[in-house]
Amino acid sequence: MDRMLYIAMTGASHALHRQTATSNNLANATTTGFRADLTQFRSMPVFGPGYPSRAYALAERPASDFTPGALQSTGRELDLAVEDEGWIAVQARDGTEAYTKAGDLRTTVNGQLVTGTGLPVLGNNGPIAIPPAQKMDIGRDGTISVVPLGAQPNEVAALDRIKLVRPPLDQLEKGSDGLMRLKSGETAEADANVKVISGALESSNVNPAHELVELINLARTFQMQIKTMQTADQNEEAITRTMRLSG
């Protein structure tokens, strides 16, 4: 009887864990460049002294969904969409290099180029700083050009180049901060072949309808596991009563 109760208990627990991941996907359905998390259930034997006669349910996030999101034209000069499997290199909160598809860039009061969430965008020599300028353009290869204040419109100066990378997707993993990093812990090399589209953004690849259906299915799974636990408890009580009568 304890096998039935144990499996149902772990199944209910990990159904809640999977609901968390699905809810996070749904919450980021409108987040620029977001990549949905993939989740799955599997059984895992309980290893220890003796024969592994128990198993439990395990919910895990094996990977992220790298399907591209839809491109949305904005016309804003600091909005970037990275083509194909390219990524923008940024400096994460912990100071490490990470990668994102979120190209909703802006400049701070100090002239630093950052993402919409405030992460510094990396260039050839670290975080990019933009001096006061009357005009700024970002080329297809990520090169940032400016027309300095007081200069003629044709006096364009190349300032820096956004670090664009394209590591193999199977080498990337998403951190708890939602940013991608190499599984090896190393940093990716800049790829000159990665191109960007200025004045556009890549939307989230989350399918809200699919995630809502998944939440409903997980709620039903949770209810089924709870009902199984209740059945196991009732069976245990029935066996106890029978043993007392037979005694």
* Model confidence pLDDT, tens digit, residues 28-45: 999 999 999 988 777 777
Query: Do 52 and 89 reside in the same domain of the chain?
Result: no
With a cut of 90, say whether residue 162 has pLDDT above it.
yes
Quick check: pTM over 0.85?
Answer: no
pLDDT value at residue 223:
86
Give the chain's domain count: 2
Query: Do 170 and 102 reside in the same domain of the chain?
Result: yes
Query: Do 18 and 128 reside in the same domain of the chain?
Result: no
Query: Do 106 and 182 reside in the same domain of the chain?
Result: yes
With a cut of 60, say whether residue 1 has pLDDT above it.
no
- Mean pLDDT, the chain, integer: 87
Residue ending a domain, among 202, 220, 237, is: 202
With a cut of 70, say whether residue 141 has pLDDT above it.
yes
With a cut of 90, say whether residue 148 has pLDDT above it.
no
Query: Do 48 and 31 reside in the same domain of the chain?
Result: yes
Query: Do 38 and 78 reside in the same domain of the chain?
Result: no
Query: Do 126 and 100 reside in the same domain of the chain?
Result: yes
pLDDT value at residue 2:
62
Instruction: Quickly list DSSP for the chain.
Output: -HHHHHHHHHHHHHHHHHHHHHHHHHHTTTSTT--PEEEEEEEEE--SSS----EEEEEEEEEE--PPPPEEE---TTBEEE-TT-EEEEE-TTS-EEEE---B-EE-TT-BEE-TTSPBBEETTEE-B---EEEEEE-TTSEEEEEETTS-TT--EEEEE--EE---GGGEEE-TTS-EEETTS-PPPB-TT--EEETEEEPP---HHHHHHHHHHHHHHHHHHHHHHHHHHHHHHHHHHHHHHH-
Q: Which domain holds residue 197?
A: 71-202
Query: Do 76 and 26 reside in the same domain of the chain?
Result: no
Q: Which residue has the higher pLDDT, 111 or 16?
A: 111
pLDDT value at residue 107:
92
With a cut of 90, say whether residue 233 has pLDDT above it.
no
Query: Do 96 and 196 reside in the same domain of the chain?
Result: yes
